[in-house]
Amino acid sequence: MTYLQLSLLFTAAAVVAAVAVSVATPRGRRARPAAIAITIATLFTLTAVFDTVMIASGLFHYSPAHLLGLHIGLAPIEDFAYPLAGAVVLPALWMLLRARRAAASDPVEEHDA
């Protein structure tokens, strides 16, 4: 399995989970796309910088046979799938957990029939 295939599987699983959680979360409590986009941009920048530094210093390397061949700095493009997946799925899970906590703390009203 190549790094690209592994990255696509991981990212696809994150997107499916985020969509499922988003559907189950009340509309007012969903993650905001602008915040997710800013997070993705920030994580991509950090990934490019720190992966380049770590690869340049020899902390790790990738087998060229399993890479697509595209790089940002020294970081292979496949490395950017993990911050993308995290930025997609974690806000959705956070919103779901907050919605559940809010629902659990709301007092249940009893109605006489």
Residue range 67-84, pLDDT digits in tens: 888 999 999 999 999 999
Residues 6+ apart with CB under 8 A from 48: 72, 73, 75, 80
- Of the given ranges (8-17, 24-33, 43-52, 92-101), which has the lowest mean pLDDT? 24-33
pLDDT for position 100? 75
pLDDT above 90 covers a percentage of the chain that reads 39
pLDDT for position 29? 64
Question: Residue 61: CA atoms inside 13 Å, Cβ hemisphere, count?
Answer: 6
pLDDT for position 108? 57
Mean pLDDT to the nearest integer, 45-71 = 92
Residue 40 binned pLDDT confidence (cut-offs 50, 70, 90): very high
Q: How many angstroms separate the CA atoms of 83 and 90, rounded?
A: 10
